[in-house]
Chain A
Amino acid sequence: EAGVAQSPRYKIIEKRQSVAFWCNPISGHATLYWYQQILGQGPKLLIQFQNNGVVDDSQLPKDRFSAERLKGVDSTLKIQPAKLEDSAVYLCASSLVLAGGSQETQYFGPGTRLLVL
Protein backbone atom coordinates (compact mmCIF):
# COMPACT_ATOMS: atom_id res chain seq x y z
CA GLU A 1 0.00 0.00 0.00
CA ALA A 2 1.41 3.38 -0.98
CA GLY A 3 1.92 5.83 1.86
CA VAL A 4 1.21 9.52 2.12
CA ALA A 5 3.08 11.42 -0.56
CA GLN A 6 4.31 14.98 -0.17
CA SER A 7 6.17 17.37 -2.42
CA PRO A 8 8.48 19.13 -2.56
CA ARG A 9 10.72 17.58 0.10
CA TYR A 10 12.69 20.78 0.58
CA LYS A 11 12.02 24.44 -0.18
CA ILE A 12 14.05 27.57 0.44
CA ILE A 13 12.40 30.96 -0.06
CA GLU A 14 12.91 34.53 1.02
CA LYS A 15 10.57 36.21 3.47
CA ARG A 16 7.47 37.74 1.92
CA GLN A 17 7.51 35.20 -0.90
CA SER A 18 4.76 32.63 -1.41
CA VAL A 19 5.07 28.86 -1.23
CA ALA A 20 2.77 25.88 -1.72
CA PHE A 21 2.99 22.30 -0.53
CA TRP A 22 1.18 19.32 -1.96
CA CYS A 23 -0.11 16.16 -0.28
CA ASN A 24 -1.60 12.96 -1.67
CA PRO A 25 -3.10 10.86 1.14
CA ILE A 26 -3.40 7.09 1.30
CA SER A 27 -6.08 5.88 -1.08
CA GLY A 28 -9.48 5.73 0.58
CA HIS A 29 -8.55 7.89 3.55
CA ALA A 30 -11.29 10.48 4.02
CA THR A 31 -9.49 12.53 6.65
CA LEU A 32 -6.42 14.62 5.90
CA TYR A 33 -4.33 16.66 8.31
CA TRP A 34 -1.63 19.30 7.95
CA TYR A 35 0.85 19.74 10.78
CA GLN A 36 3.66 22.21 11.38
CA GLN A 37 6.76 20.97 13.19
CA ILE A 38 9.24 23.58 14.36
CA LEU A 39 12.74 22.33 15.14
CA GLY A 40 12.90 20.67 18.55
CA GLN A 41 9.12 20.52 18.98
CA GLY A 42 6.43 17.98 18.30
CA PRO A 43 4.07 18.41 15.35
CA LYS A 44 1.24 20.90 15.80
CA LEU A 45 -2.04 20.48 13.96
CA LEU A 46 -2.84 23.29 11.53
CA ILE A 47 -5.95 22.03 9.77
CA GLN A 48 -8.06 18.89 9.41
CA PHE A 49 -10.23 17.99 6.42
CA GLN A 50 -12.85 15.31 6.17
CA ASN A 51 -13.40 14.67 2.47
CA ASN A 52 -13.37 18.21 1.05
CA GLY A 53 -14.73 19.95 4.14
CA VAL A 54 -12.77 21.63 6.92
CA VAL A 55 -13.29 20.01 10.32
CA ASP A 56 -10.86 22.10 12.36
CA ASP A 57 -8.71 25.05 11.33
CA SER A 58 -8.53 26.75 14.71
CA GLN A 59 -4.71 26.66 14.77
CA LEU A 60 -4.22 27.86 11.18
CA PRO A 61 -2.87 31.43 10.91
CA LYS A 62 -5.48 32.46 8.41
CA ASP A 63 -3.92 35.81 7.61
CA ARG A 64 -1.15 34.04 5.72
CA PHE A 65 -1.91 30.32 5.57
CA SER A 66 -4.56 28.68 3.42
CA ALA A 67 -5.37 25.09 2.55
CA GLU A 68 -7.75 23.36 0.24
CA ARG A 69 -8.86 19.86 -0.68
CA LEU A 70 -11.16 20.55 -3.56
CA LYS A 71 -11.94 17.02 -4.74
CA GLY A 72 -11.60 15.34 -1.38
CA VAL A 73 -8.30 13.65 -2.28
CA ASP A 74 -5.16 15.76 -2.81
CA SER A 75 -4.56 18.84 -0.73
CA THR A 76 -2.41 21.95 -0.96
CA LEU A 77 -1.18 24.18 1.84
CA LYS A 78 -0.11 27.69 0.93
CA ILE A 79 1.78 30.38 2.81
CA GLN A 80 1.49 33.92 1.48
CA PRO A 81 3.55 35.90 2.45
CA ALA A 82 6.07 33.80 4.34
CA LYS A 83 7.77 34.98 7.52
CA LEU A 84 11.03 33.83 9.07
CA GLU A 85 9.13 32.01 11.83
CA ASP A 86 7.41 29.82 9.25
CA SER A 87 10.64 27.85 8.85
CA ALA A 88 9.58 24.35 9.83
CA VAL A 89 8.69 20.91 8.52
CA TYR A 90 5.15 20.69 7.18
CA LEU A 91 3.70 17.23 7.62
CA CYS A 92 0.64 15.76 5.98
CA ALA A 93 -1.21 12.82 7.51
CA SER A 94 -4.32 10.86 6.61
CA SER A 95 -6.68 8.44 8.33
CA LEU A 96 -9.78 6.39 7.72
CA VAL A 97 -13.09 7.33 9.25
CA LEU A 98 -14.62 4.38 11.03
CA ALA A 99 -18.29 3.66 11.53
CA GLY A 100 -19.72 6.04 14.10
CA GLY A 101 -17.28 8.78 13.14
CA SER A 102 -14.27 7.64 15.13
CA GLN A 103 -10.90 8.25 13.58
CA GLU A 104 -8.46 5.53 12.72
CA THR A 105 -4.72 5.79 13.15
CA GLN A 106 -3.03 8.70 11.41
CA TYR A 107 -0.34 7.88 8.86
CA PHE A 108 2.21 10.56 8.08
CA GLY A 109 4.10 11.56 4.97
CA PRO A 110 7.81 12.41 4.97
CA GLY A 111 7.16 16.15 5.26
CA THR A 112 8.32 19.26 3.43
CA ARG A 113 11.20 21.11 5.04
CA LEU A 114 10.77 24.88 4.56
CA LEU A 115 13.51 27.42 5.19
CA VAL A 116 12.57 31.09 5.03
CA LEU A 117 15.53 33.46 4.67
Chain B
Amino acid sequence: DAKTTQPPSMDCAEGRAANLPCNHSTISGNEYVYWYRQIHSQGPQYIIHGLKNNETNEMASLIITEDRKSSTLILPHATLRDTAVYYCIVRPLTGNQFYFGTGTSLTVIP
Protein backbone atom coordinates (compact mmCIF):
# COMPACT_ATOMS: atom_id res chain seq x y z
CA ASP B 1 0.00 0.00 0.00
CA ALA B 2 1.11 3.53 -0.76
CA LYS B 3 2.35 5.38 2.30
CA THR B 4 1.67 8.81 0.84
CA THR B 5 -1.33 11.09 0.30
CA GLN B 6 -1.42 13.57 -2.57
CA PRO B 7 -4.14 15.79 -4.02
CA PRO B 8 -5.54 14.17 -7.17
CA SER B 9 -5.09 17.24 -9.37
CA MET B 10 -3.66 20.74 -9.50
CA ASP B 11 -3.37 23.57 -12.00
CA CYS B 12 -0.49 26.00 -12.36
CA ALA B 13 0.00 29.00 -14.63
CA GLU B 14 2.91 28.79 -17.03
CA GLY B 15 5.98 30.54 -15.67
CA ARG B 16 4.81 30.37 -12.08
CA ALA B 17 6.09 28.04 -9.40
CA ALA B 18 4.24 24.77 -8.99
CA ASN B 19 4.12 23.53 -5.40
CA LEU B 20 3.02 19.91 -5.08
CA PRO B 21 2.32 18.70 -1.55
CA CYS B 22 2.65 15.20 -0.16
CA ASN B 23 1.74 13.79 3.24
CA HIS B 24 3.71 10.82 4.58
CA SER B 25 2.82 10.87 8.25
CA THR B 26 3.91 7.25 8.88
CA ILE B 27 7.38 7.65 7.40
CA SER B 28 10.11 5.97 9.40
CA GLY B 29 13.66 7.08 10.03
CA ASN B 30 15.31 5.05 7.28
CA GLU B 31 12.83 5.91 4.54
CA TYR B 32 13.57 8.34 1.76
CA VAL B 33 11.08 10.58 -0.04
CA TYR B 34 11.25 10.16 -3.81
CA TRP B 35 9.45 12.11 -6.51
CA TYR B 36 8.79 10.82 -10.00
CA ARG B 37 6.65 12.18 -12.78
CA GLN B 38 4.95 10.46 -15.68
CA ILE B 39 4.20 12.34 -18.84
CA HIS B 40 1.42 10.85 -20.93
CA SER B 41 2.40 7.58 -22.66
CA GLN B 42 5.89 7.58 -21.15
CA GLY B 43 7.53 5.70 -18.29
CA PRO B 44 7.98 7.42 -14.93
CA GLN B 45 10.89 9.84 -14.80
CA TYR B 46 12.99 10.38 -11.69
CA ILE B 47 12.93 13.96 -10.37
CA ILE B 48 14.53 14.15 -6.94
CA HIS B 49 14.80 12.44 -3.57
CA GLY B 50 15.76 13.30 -0.01
CA LEU B 51 15.96 12.00 3.53
CA LYS B 52 15.94 14.93 5.96
CA ASN B 53 17.44 17.96 4.32
CA ASN B 54 15.98 20.04 1.55
CA GLU B 55 17.34 19.14 -1.86
CA THR B 56 17.65 20.97 -5.15
CA ASN B 57 18.67 19.87 -8.60
CA GLU B 58 18.26 21.17 -12.11
CA MET B 59 14.67 20.01 -12.27
CA ALA B 60 13.14 20.86 -8.92
CA SER B 61 13.48 21.52 -5.21
CA LEU B 62 12.29 19.23 -2.44
CA ILE B 63 11.29 20.71 0.88
CA ILE B 64 10.85 18.19 3.72
CA THR B 65 9.32 19.36 7.00
CA GLU B 66 11.35 19.01 10.15
CA ASP B 67 9.16 16.18 11.46
CA ARG B 68 9.41 14.54 7.99
CA LYS B 69 5.66 13.95 7.90
CA SER B 70 5.17 15.96 4.74
CA SER B 71 7.08 17.37 1.82
CA THR B 72 6.62 19.73 -1.10
CA LEU B 73 8.02 19.42 -4.59
CA ILE B 74 8.64 22.80 -6.18
CA LEU B 75 8.98 23.34 -9.90
CA PRO B 76 10.27 26.92 -9.88
CA HIS B 77 9.10 28.04 -13.33
CA ALA B 78 6.50 25.63 -14.69
CA THR B 79 6.30 25.10 -18.43
CA LEU B 80 3.70 23.33 -20.53
CA ARG B 81 6.06 20.33 -20.73
CA ASP B 82 5.75 19.92 -16.96
CA THR B 83 2.14 18.76 -17.38
CA ALA B 84 2.25 15.23 -15.97
CA VAL B 85 1.25 12.99 -13.08
CA TYR B 86 3.61 13.51 -10.14
CA TYR B 87 4.19 10.66 -7.72
CA CYS B 88 5.50 11.03 -4.18
CA ILE B 89 6.95 7.78 -2.86
CA VAL B 90 8.56 6.76 0.41
CA ARG B 91 11.00 3.89 0.31
CA PRO B 92 13.55 2.41 2.66
CA LEU B 93 17.25 2.64 1.97
CA THR B 94 17.31 -1.07 1.25
CA GLY B 95 14.58 -3.16 -0.27
CA ASN B 96 12.18 -2.66 -3.12
CA GLN B 97 9.06 -1.27 -1.45
CA PHE B 98 8.34 1.32 -4.10
CA TYR B 99 4.61 2.06 -3.90
CA PHE B 100 3.44 4.68 -6.35
CA GLY B 101 -0.09 5.52 -5.28
CA THR B 102 -2.23 7.53 -7.71
CA GLY B 103 -0.19 10.75 -7.72
CA THR B 104 -1.15 14.36 -8.53
CA SER B 105 -2.11 15.28 -12.06
CA LEU B 106 -0.52 18.67 -12.68
CA THR B 107 -1.81 20.75 -15.57
CA VAL B 108 0.24 23.79 -16.57
CA ILE B 109 -2.02 26.38 -18.14
CA PRO B 110 -0.75 28.82 -20.80
Contact = CB atoms under 8 A, between A and B. Distances in A.
Interface of A: 4, 33, 40-45, 48, 55-56, 91, 93, 100-103, 105-111, 113
B-side binding surface: helix, strand, loop or mixed? loop
Given A4-B43, A108-B43, A42 B101 contact: yes
23 contacts: A4-B43, A42-B2, A42-B100, A42-B102, A43-B44, A44-B100, A45-B96, A45-B98, A56-B96, A91-B43, A102-B93, A103-B93, A103-B95, A105-B34, A105-B46, A106-B98, A108-B44, A108-B45, A109-B43, A110-B41, A110-B42, A111-B43, A113-B41
B2 A101 contact: no
Contacts of B41: 110, 113
A105 B34 CA distance: 9
Interface residues of B, number: 20
Given A40-B102, A42-B102, A48 B46 contact: no
Interface string B68-110: 0000000000000000000100000111101111110000000
